Amino acid sequence: MIEGGLSKFQGRRVLLLQGPVGPFFRRLAEDLQQVGAAVFKVNFNGGDWFFYPGRSLNFRGLMDDWPAYFESLLDELNIDVVMLFGDCRAIHRAAYTIASFRKIDIAVFEEGYIRPNYITLEQSGVNSHSRIPRTPIFYLNRAVASAEPPLPVGNTFWFAVCWAVLYYLAASLLFPWFRHYRHHRPLTWREGLPWARAVVRKWQYAVRERGVAQRLATQLEGRFFLVPLQVYNDSQIRVHSEYGSVDDFIEDVMSSFAKHAPPEVLLVIKHHPMDRGYCDYSAFIARRARELGLQERCLYIHDQHLPTLIRGACGVVVVNSTVGLSALFHGVPVKTCGSAMYDIKGLTFRGPLNEFWNRAAQFKPDRHLYRQFHDYLVLHTQVNGSFYKPLPLVASVAGLKWRLTPREVPMADARKRDRRQGDMRKKRW
């Protein structure tokens, strides 16, 4: 999908459905129009409309009416590419089924497989729906070009917070115009409360967990298994695993660790930073630790530096989080408990979780296989940039560093030169 960059969409008729919170899809539309694509957008709630108010269509009907409405749009607008963010929302699942049946291209955006400097764009599906090959021989028996270093995106947290607050506020205020829409989170002003709670908890955890990072990096280095959690309503849990919830995953891991792990190692469970304001598993983990006799062998932490934790771990257990890819980068053994697109023989531990605790020390990811897989993944599914904060001084309005064809390089250089001159004029003014 990303080979050929934006030129891939030249002359195409593109329909945008729901995107990430913020102005990304509006900026993306400008990129697509600059290469000669005809772009159309459907809004489903006030948040969608707020960030894409002009030249858009507003679906305000019942959700049961959406499939027929979508089919009529495909016919009336002669659409040949559908773009969407995340392929597990009910709206997008229905669109996916219809577009696939009609053999219309589907471009799916998702948060980057490789963090923090990439976003994901794949044809037809992401995560376990990805068409990325799963056999090691595919990567070992082909020449894969090395991925060039990405431009650094920098801190995007406050941008994401700003867009989220505006999105949910607009969705709440304009609810009467989109009263039939159903979101995966409550679309009210109250959705801003978890973000405020997250800021308070971040300070609380910093005080409560003072010294924990130092202890893990020194006296406990190489003596703990790391278990990074995922967001409570993540489709990676609901769709791409057999767990009913994050609680079920925690229960499974703690029970297995208590029964099978060597007595000298610890279990370190790390909360997801984007879930800080929504969930707190402290009471649940403390209760299960007492019942399983793990009071001195189980730590529940929040905001410690993840790469440092990974480097100090003797193994990492995930459902299907992209943290697993970070662990593979550092050469740390990984056990996936869900359906992960990187769960490939030679990369991850393929035995049962009960055996991982004792066999992790003898298992190491194949470094050559990982490098081949990583470079193929970047070149075929990753675009340098962010949904929330545009990269500076790139040719893209959306702030993405698209891969350019030789014919596009001079035009991109000219656009970057014009943008630099405009920035200089603004500074002088």
Res 429 pLDDT > 50: no
pLDDT class of 186 with cuts at 50, 70, 90: low
Alpha helices in 218-265 (DSSP H): 235-238, 246-260
Domain with CATH 3.40.50.2000 in the chain: 220-374
DSSP category for residue 233: T
HSE-up of residue 200 (Cα within 13 Å, Cβ side): 7
Query: pLDDT of 83-115, one tens digit each?
Result: 999 998 899 999 999 999 999 999 999 999 998
DSSP string, 349-372: --S-HHHHHHHGGG----HHHHHH
What tens digit of pLDDT does each residue of 384-397 get? 999 999 999 898 99
pLDDT bracket for residue 357 (50, 70, 90) = very high
Residue 262, pLDDT > 90, answer yes
Residue range 213-222: mean pLDDT, rounded: 93
Q: Which CATH homologous superfamily contains domain 220-374?
A: Glycogen Phosphorylase B; (3.40.50.2000)
Q: How confident is the model at residue 425 (pLDDT cuts 50, 70, 90)?
A: very low
Torsion of CA 137, 140, 143, 148, to 10 degrees: 120
Predicted confidence (pLDDT) at residue 417 exceeds the cutoff of 60:
no
Domain 5-159+376-428 is found in CATH 3.60.60.10: no
pLDDT of residue 408: 44
Where do you find CATH 3.40.50.20 in the chain? Answer: 5-159+376-428
Region of poorest pLDDT, from 98-102, 180-184, 322-326, 350-354: 180-184
pTM of the model: 0.87
